Structure 1
């Protein structure tokens, strides 16, 4: 996806970012990245969460004010009214120019809490809406609030098209996540095991049904006898760990498939493996795929409804696999690369272009365009 854009010199803004927590997750990391970068670029930034800082995974610049509403875990209508009240009081105290709601419910609450205040709300979608599990209550609120937001930002063109068709009146923009480069080590640091002459497939993500690791294990089962010197590593944590481990054990792959958990030193792992695999049933925009390609990994991904097709240029810097959720199709695509070391090198040499195509500089310029446009429209209004 082309990200070429130019912007005028930015006017310092007061920006509030609202998100549930700073626990592990793609949107959480994006929230911290944006907060830190906007501070560096001269904006005044506050980051508001429902949880406190216990369990934080990502490091926020100490100049960015962190506010905890302490409204996590509450349920029911009265709980949401309490969240709205706490968020509105914080908005009134901080008096932001821009409020950025990170993910659907935070975006909805931000629009409602800002009613009558002199701030502009930007709603964001970080997953593809058809894959979300939202109650009819939140779906109705999204249809009510998104047309009232100054802008609705989607990660991909396909998600933007879905919102235009299903949430009429939304003023859309498409801004992808930026790739982290160079990757910075975090905790926990776990050293990859020695290769000992073996090759590895690598998959990364939350151990959740959406990530399709069960499909990947089935595909690797078909490949394991043909490629006895290849192993599979799945990095991440989540609710599907026990079920996936059971699948590995039943398939007799316990010595060939490992799940070391969540690691912070991802660059070492990308460099210690040979092919990156994204087996997701659904995606927003995969941070791990961007990182793997930035590290020069040849990558194979299911061509699910959104995400990979906006990162991978098929047969140039990676492979897109159809049909989605088909272990045989995935195994066939992987087999071709596992057989052909030169093909892996060729894809890897081009994959690093994502460092420029999805650079923080370009992504920040797209955000600045949105800010400039919102300010211009506000002045006209």
Structure 2
């Protein structure tokens, strides 16, 4: 049996990929269970979901501590062959909870950049040291590491695992045909109706990582040159929405900023937008950029946003910009809003199909099981 661990089935890219992996492995004949710390969320048809906690606790660290203890109990009772920790936020729980569980192979999927070395990026010394120390611990412990971007190979903590053949790069993928099928319908926002001012769309958690503060500065520069509006889709944490709104007021462009929150289907928003922007300081392999590419909207991405440069063919299928430079972001957006100069993704997304991701995971699982065990499990 294969256990897939994430902290919660929330609306994140990590969880999207967990669902896809669980569904694919189940379809291949493997016994799969999804394990989370918190209950709730959208699971996968035919795949059991076990929540370690009955409800949220007062703090995330406390949730992780209690979840680790209960995960150990669950693992000893269920005896899975593999434990796949699918995102960085769950690795400490998976590691601590599986200590001493005999015969269990642990796979850690490194879903986001750990080094975060881009000049100007938000940094906190203690947190950075903790991340790197944790990366070293899981790298030593792992039967295998799965990196979602080739840029993550440069992480020093992974060097030994790479030299020992315990590292595989599996970037995120997308079913482009399924994505395009979800575009149908009227414009989801009045600003996206035909005949209005052009709209730039950004999608992501309202967190420092996503660099929306710099985006607002860039948008103010762009708006001084031409009529344009900005929509940011994403959840708000720690009054982040209020801070962004206050910044927009100070820049004098609040009337042209909308933050509708989280939506269940981003594809109509992307398809009706005039340009998509991903200004993140860091990423792993950004699902949202693949989603934008699938509907052929002109894209601007930060050079440091994980494998964004690879996805966009080093600028041949979309523009790349310095996330610390509002002027560079504004210039790239202005070019992408002009039909005469816009660089669209075209069919570039086909190089990152979900089928290739599924095949890569199936090959890795087969290796970890051993050919005989993998063959019998998949029958």
User: Is the TM value for this pair above 0.5?
Assistant: yes
Matches within 5 A, 1:226-245: 226-228=225-227, 230-239=228-237, 240-245=240-245
Residue 109 of structure 1 is matched in structure 2 by 93
Higher helix share: 2
Matches within 5 A, 1:88-237: 88-104=72-88, 106-112=90-96, 113=98, 115-131=100-116, 134=127, 139-162=132-155, 165-170=156-161, 171-181=166-176, 182-183=178-179, 191-193=188-190, 194-228=193-227, 230-237=228-235
Residue 312 of structure 1 is matched in structure 2 by 312
Instruction: Give the CA RMSD over aligned residues.
Output: 2.8
Deviation at 1:287, TM superposition (A): 1.0
List alignment gaps of at least 5 residues for structure 1: 1-13
CA contact (8 A) 2:218 2:329 kept: yes
Query: 3-state DSSP class of the match of 2:33?
Result: strand
CA contact (8 A) 2:202 2:233 kept: yes
Deviation at 1:130, TM superposition (A): 2.0
CA contact (8 A) 1:286 1:307 kept: yes
Distance 1:276 1:235 in 2: 11
Point out the more displaced range, 263-272 or 99-108: 99-108
Post-superposition Cα deviations, 1:278-325, rounded to whole Å, max 9, x if no partner, equal 111111211111100111111011101633112111342101113x31
Distance 1:255 1:125 in 2: 39
Give the TM-score, by structure 1 length.
Answer: 0.83
Distance 1:22 1:200 in 2: 31
Residue 68 of structure 2 is matched in structure 1 by 84
Distance 1:95 1:22 in 2: 23
Give the TM-score, by structure 2 length.
Answer: 0.84
Residue 329 of structure 2 is matched in structure 1 by 330
Aligned length: 351
Distance 1:141 1:315 in 2: 34
CA contact (8 A) 1:234 1:260 kept: yes
Does residue 21 of structure 1 match 2:8?
Answer: yes
* Residue number among 21, 26, 35 corresponding to 1:39 in the alignment: 26
List alignment gaps of at least 5 residues for structure 2: 117-122, 374-379
Distance 2:225 2:63 in 1: 56
Matches within 5 A, 1:49-88: 49-53=36-40, 56=41, 59-70=42-53, 73=57, 82-88=66-72
Distance 1:275 1:336 in 2: 10
